[in-house]
Structure 1
Amino acid sequence: MYCLRAVIVTESARRRVLDSLEGARLVPLGQNLSLMPVAETRFDTGPLAECSEHGAVAYVEAEYFGGAGTQFAQVWEGGETVLGPLQVDEDEPDPADGSPISQALRRLGALKGDHFDEFDAVGLGRHRDTDDWLSA
């Protein structure tokens, strides 16, 4: 099983997120991105638009079991939604331009390089559960 709920921020938005979201803890991903694990099942994305005034911010969710699952992503920049919300439900193929999370990461500046996709390139497979990111 794989489960992730997180906010991913660019380096330029990092300080704003830490100042604006109580208890925010960011984990470096590489490629000038950081991940804030979200423990709550229902996360209020309202403050992310404000946090994006200084750089792009994404909210992502993924849940997989046995290769089947769902993904969700939305990106804000300059206080506005610039991507999404994008969602792929179980048994739906990923869009031709990549999974919702890979599209969001690309919008934040992540490069696929020699990896399978941007998801893989920034190491989102490093942990299988959001709680594991919290203890990293």
Structure 2
Amino acid sequence: MHCIRGFIGKEEIIKAFTDNWVEAKPVTLYQGLAIIFLTRKLYDDIEELANSKIDTEYSQFFEYLSPSIYEILVQESRKGKLAYIETDYFGGCGSQSAILFENSKIKIQPIETETLWDEKTYNYYHKPEGEKAINVVLKELGVYKVKGKDEFDSIGLGNYRHMD
């Protein structure tokens, strides 16, 4: 099982984010990045305090990217790149989604990768083929692959199976 959601950026961007939200707890990753997991408490605080009514059309990609979360991404990306990610896997199958903001604008549009099981070949495959969604965004954040790992595992995200 792998089920996380959160904001990823350079440590200084994440530090500035945490200064604005009591429930925002930074977790240091490798390569100078950090993540703030979007816990239920943080989500509720953002929904209550930001209370945005802007119209976003990203529900097909994300379960938790509400108008208020979108508004926070706009605000908190003023000083640099800030990604929002979601994963939901069980038994190797599932999906991941990512979006990247910079200077209060979308730099990489929402993308999603599904991992499915092929009964004929007994292998997993990705839809769409190619780079997984989160790796695309991590590359733009400056992440490089460590030998034998993709960008996701190179910064240690694979170590966090859930947010508890």
Which residue of 49, 56, 61 maps to 2:86?
A: 61
Counterpart residue type for residue 117 of structure 1: D
Aligned residues: 130
Gaps of 5+ in 2: 41-62, 117-125
**Number of the residue aligned with 1:71:** 96
Q: Please say which structure displays the higher CA radius of gyration.
A: 2
Partner letter of residue 13 of structure 2? A
Alignment map for 1:103-114 (pairs within 5 Å): 103-114=136-147
RMSD between aligned residues: 1.8
User: What amino acid sits opposite 1:56 in the alignment?
Assistant: K
Q: Counterpart of 2:32?
A: 32
Contact (CA 8 Å) 1:53, 1:77: kept in 2 or not? yes
User: How far apart, in 1, do the equivalents of 2:98 and 2:129 lie?
Assistant: 13
CA–CA separation in structure 2 for the residues paired with 1:33 and 1:52: 14
- Structure 1, residues 28-73: CA drift from partner, whole Å, max 9, x if none? 0021100101113735232111111111100000111111100100
Q: Which residue of 2 aligns with 1:23?
A: 23
* Structure 1 residue ranges without an equivalent (≥5): 132-136
Counterpart in 1 of 2:77?
Answer: 52
Taking the aligned partners of 1:51 and 1:115, their CA distance within structure 2 comes to: 33
- What's 2:5 paired with? 5
Larger relative contact order (Cα-Cα within 8 Å, sequence gap ≥ 6)? 1
Measure, in 1, the Cα distance between the counterparts of 2:21 and 2:129.
32
Distance 2:148 2:7 in 1: 22
For residue 144 of structure 2, give the secondary structure of its aligned residue in structure 1. coil
Q: Structure 1 vs Structure 2: percent identity of aligned residues?
A: 31
Q: Equivalents in 2 of 1:61, 1:104: separation in Å?
A: 12
Q: Which amino acid aligns with 1:60?
A: I
